[in-house]
Structure 1
Amino acid sequence: MAKGEGAPKPKRKGLVVALLAASATFSLFLIAGLAWAWSVYYSPGPTARQGDTTVVTLPSGSGVSAIAATLKNAGVIRSVDMFKAAATLTGADRRLRAGEYEVPTRASLKTVIQLLTDGRVVRHFVTIPEGWSSAQAVGILNGETILTGTIDAVPEEGSLWADTYEISRGETRASVIARMQRDAERNLAELWARRGPNTVVRTPEEAVILASIVEKETGVARERPRVAAVFSNRIRLGMRLESDPTIIYGITKGRPLGRGIRLSELRRDTGWNTYLIDGLPPTPIANPGRQSLEAVLNPPTTQDLFFVADGTGGHAFARTYAEHLANVSRWRAIEAGKAPPAEALPPGVVPGAPPPGAAATEEAAPPPLTGESVITMQAPGALTPQRAPANQ
């Protein structure tokens, strides 16, 4: 019996050996598999098909499978399954972010996943400068190739908020216009609520019209309140605004004129020419910025009624027409490239300055140095220039 009881021992020993061998084999395969996965995870990925990067856009709401398929189709990863496995094992599958990405050529799987979890998306911006017309704003958006769709009609003048906007690839141009209009409505409401007692505008719409003129008259921020005060004083006294940019807008509807204003254009009744119409023009002549709106809604108290370019990019302001004529003479001398002699400025008689009632004396004046037009404000009570039909 003692011998029989010990007989099964070699069987058990063989089973243990077999199990150990199988375990060792599995471990080897596991180690090999992990080494392979490690190598795939960290090794360089595919070469970009063009250039040094590949642009990939992941739509919002995309799952891991859809993201993996998009990356594979773009040539950014080699295997959909490996991406899904790596994302799952690292926990990245719950942190992948939508957006537009620039993936470097030969980026490893680890780099791609890290880009997507960090949300290092490509950011695009478009700027609508203050004082640009709605037609010019449409031109800017049409030039942005990442945007889609068309703008069926130019938005109303003054309805866009001049600012820098972040845009996304594939976003429609119409949606960007809608954002600009919403911003304009919101900001105008906030500024209107803070208007001061010195403002002459009666409605938010009038504020935008007058602010657009202020915006076009000067690019110097510190001058905008004073320019707004000049126009406010003129409105209170029943004087015409006599703003050169309104002449230009009636001709080009917001496009640059590219030359000086002609006498025939001064006389042309376009509906916006404030040398010929009383009060404000029917619409804004541009999309004004915040500072111009604030200046119109809270103008300082001054006695200024005139201004003209001073040759430095700013303007010389005057309370009387005699002072204005002296400033005009200095400006014309600067245009001509000569210094104005002090003795050449007798009160009331200024060589080169337009006489009261005549804002231009030549059909086509020489273009000024800073792009300012050569028309100047008239004497108080001066006769309106003879009108010419709007279609001339």
Structure 2
Amino acid sequence: MANLFRELRDPETGRWVPKEVWYRVRGAIAVLLSLGVLLGGGWFVYGKVRDAWIDYRTAEDYIDPAGVADVVVEIPQGASTNKIADLLLAADVIRTAKAFDRAAASDSNVRKIQYGLYKLRTQIPAKTALQMLLDPANQIKNQFKIREGLRLSEVLTSLAESTKVPEKDLKAALKNRKAFGLPSWLGSSDEGFIFPDTYNLPLKPTATSVLKQPLGEFNKIVQDLAFEERANALGYKPYDVLIMASIIEREVFRDEDRAKVARVFYNRLAKGMPLQSDATIAYSVNKTGTIWTSDADRGKKNKSPYNTYQRKGLPPGPITAPAKKAMEAALNPADGDWLYFVPINLDTGETVFSETYADQKKAEAQLAQWCLATPANRKKCA
């Protein structure tokens, strides 16, 4: 520093040399200006890069989690991530499908999105949309139920009442089986495949959109159970096993008895005995809600092919749409030599299985005793 000042003074007089001072000041100013330019340019470049990045991100995705307006989106059964992204994009919930795909790829819970109606917001980030779909509070619970054990006429009446779709439209839609991808091995009857469960009502119900859900569920259950392959391995056509499952659905009180009842009926078929199923008799005479039948119902005057007291073999079609447990029992009957069964307590469903007719008569006597025990019991046995 001392040397610097000496260079700026005249060595003889010791005075400041203006010219040297100016050179030095000018040089310093030049350096400072250069630094300013560099710093300003860097900040300018940084700003441009930052703005470009924000523009890139917002071009793909919305940024405000609050969104703009409420919107209802319907997620169909079995929808893939790509399908969900397309539906959200069409409703202006997300800005691009790519943004939702990226959000879904980072969250394994995307597989837990259920089908149904969802209350969402338009123009929200894809990640926010995903979180809203995973929150049950955003699902609109507008459902219809198909109960187990109902015959087709009861199911269609119930569906028409709960969905406001005319019953005639539902009947007409059932005729187009290709539209629902139903198995080719099904028989001509429309009974047996409107799968019992609870479903979400479509946003704009039509006969096809309403039926698509239970028929789609039937297709899924058939695939899950490997129904056709296991039926063939059992030595029966898949449609025959479906008919068997429908009888089990109506005959059995307790889950633990399903496979045993299946074995009884398969044993009777193998021996050439009539099934003698009261459930099929009730179907033949159009009795609903009960499987109790009279001697007249079971007699020879009843020429119905569903009169399994007078006709051997399986009836020509199902008598209801069986639930999965009944289908599983029909595919996997228990081991045993039983030929008969009868419930002996209609409250608990306790059932006795017998190999001989003599033992069956003893069990029937137990049922008769239970029926006479109280007025309430007599009413249940009527």
Partner of 2:293 in structure 1? 261
Match in the other structure for 2:109: none
Task: Give the aligned partner of residue 335 of structure 1.
Answer: 371
Deviations 1:305-357 (A, max 9, x none): 1111111223111111111111100100110117xxxxxxxxxxxxxxxxxxx
Counterpart CA distance in 1 for 2:130 and 2:329 is 46
Deviation string 1:41-92 (CA, Å, 9 cap, x unpaired) is: 9xxxxxxxxxxxxx9746886889x889xxxxxxxxxxxxxxxxxx9xxxxx
Post-superposition Cα deviations, 1:96-131, rounded to whole Å, max 9, x if no partner, equal: xxx85679xxxxxx9xxx999835241333332332
CA distance in 1, matches of 2:212, 2:320: 17
Residues 1:240 and 2:281 aligned together: no
Give the structure 1 partner of residue 312 of structure 2. 278
* Higher-helix-fraction structure: 2
The answer (yes or no) to whether the contact 1:160–1:180 under 8 Å persists in 2 is yes
Are 1:160 and 2:183 counterparts? no
Deviation at 1:246, TM superposition (A): 0.7
* Amino acid in the other structure paired with 1:135: S
Per the TM alignment, residue 291 of structure 1 is displaced from its structure 2 partner at its CA by 1.6
3-state SS of 2:194 partner: coil
Deviates more, 1:230-239 or 1:55-64: 55-64
- Following the alignment from structure 1 to structure 2, what is the Cα–Cα distance between the partners of residues 154 and 320? 47
C-alpha distance in 2 between matches for 1:316 and 1:231: 15
Distance of 2:228 and 2:379 partners within structure 1: 33
Matched residue of 2:335: which SS?
A: coil
Identity of aligned pairs, percent? Answer: 27
Superposition deviation, residue 238 in structure 1? 0.6
Gaps of 5+ in 2: 1-63, 65-69, 75-85, 96-102, 104-115, 175-189
Residue 299 of structure 1 deviates from its aligned partner by 1.1
Aligned-partner Cα distance in 2 for 1:63–1:211: 43
Q: Partners of 2:201 and 2:161 in 1: how far apart? A: 13
Q: How far is 1:148 from its partner?
A: 7.9
- Give distance in 2, aligned partners of 1:62 and 1:224: 44
Check conservation: 1:271, 1:281, Cα contact below 8 A: yes
- Give the whole-Å Cα distance in 1 for the aligned partners of 2:373 and 2:173: 41
**SS across alignment from 1:275:** coil
The residue that corresponds to 1:314 in the other structure is: 350
CA contact (8 A) 1:239 1:278 kept: yes
* Match status 1:304 vs 2:342: no
- Cα root mean square deviation, aligned: 4.3
Query: How much has 1:153 moved relative to structure 2?
Result: 4.3
One-letter code aligned to 1:303: D
Tell me which residue corresponds to 1:125. Answer: 143
Shift of 1:222: 0.8
Letter in 2 for 1:137: V
Amino acid aligned to 2:148? E
Cα distance change on mapping 1:121 and 1:298 into 2, 3 Å: closer
2:10 aligned partner: none
SS in structure 2 of the partner of residue 171 of structure 1: coil
Whether the 8 Å contact between 2:173 and 2:208 is mirrored in structure 1 is no
Q: Which structure has the bigger radius of gyration?
A: 2
1:294 aligned to 2:312? no
Conservation of the 8 A alpha-carbon contact between 1:250 and 1:273: yes
Distance in 2 between the 1:191 and 1:302 partners?
A: 22
Q: Return the alpha-carbon distance in structure 1 between the equivalents of residues 149 and 371 of structure 2.
A: 25
Q: Is the 8 A contact 1:147 1:170 kept in 2?
A: no
Question: TM-score scaled to structure 1, two decimals?
Answer: 0.55
**Cα distance in 1 for residues equivalent to 2:143 and 2:117:** 13
Distance 1:299 1:152 in 2: 34
Structure 1 residues 116-195: aligned runs within 5 Å: 118-119=132-133, 120-145=138-163, 150-153=169-172, 155=174, 156-189=190-223, 190-195=226-231
Which amino acid counterpart does residue 371 of structure 2 have in structure 1? E
> Kindly tell me: are residues 185 and 58 of structure 1, through their superposed partners in 2, closer, same or farther at Cα, counting changes over 3 Å?
closer
**What runs of 5+ residues in structure 1 fail to find an aligned partner?**
1-40, 42-54, 69-86, 88-94, 104-109, 339-365, 375-392
* CA shift digits 1:1-60 (9 cap, x unpaired): xxxxxxxxxxxxxxxxxxxxxxxxxxxxxxxxxxxxxxxx9xxxxxxxxxxxxx974688
Gap change, CA 1:321 and 1:148, over 3 Å in 2: closer
* Deviation, structure 1 residue 371: 5.0
The superposition leaves residues 137-159 of structure 1 with CA deviations (integer Å, 9 ceiling, x where unpaired) of: 22232122476883134950112
Write the distance in 2 (CA, Å) between the matches of 1:261 and 1:273: 11
Deviations 1:190-246 (A, max 9, x none): 22323485x4x5211101111111111013111000000100110111110000011
* Residue pair 1:308, 1:316 contacting (<8 A) in 2 also: yes
Distance in 2 between residues matched to 1:154 and 1:262, nearest whole Å: 36
Supply the AA of the counterpart residue of 1:151.
L
Letter in 1 for 2:170: I
User: Are the structure 2 counterparts of residues 297 and 62 from structure 1 closer, same or farther at C-alpha, using a change threshold of 3 Å?
Assistant: closer
Check conservation: 1:309, 1:315, Cα contact below 8 A: yes
Which one-letter code corresponds to 2:149 in the other structure?
G
Checking the alignment, whether the CA contact within 8 Å between 1:310 and 1:327 is kept in structure 2 is yes
Q: Deviations over 1:292-312 (max 9, x none)?
A: 122122212201111111112
In structure 2, C-alpha distance between the alignment counterparts of 1:218 and 1:369, rounded to whole Å: 20
| Count of aligned residue pairs for this structure pair | 264
**Structure 2 Cα separation of the partners of residues 154 and 263 of structure 1:** 38
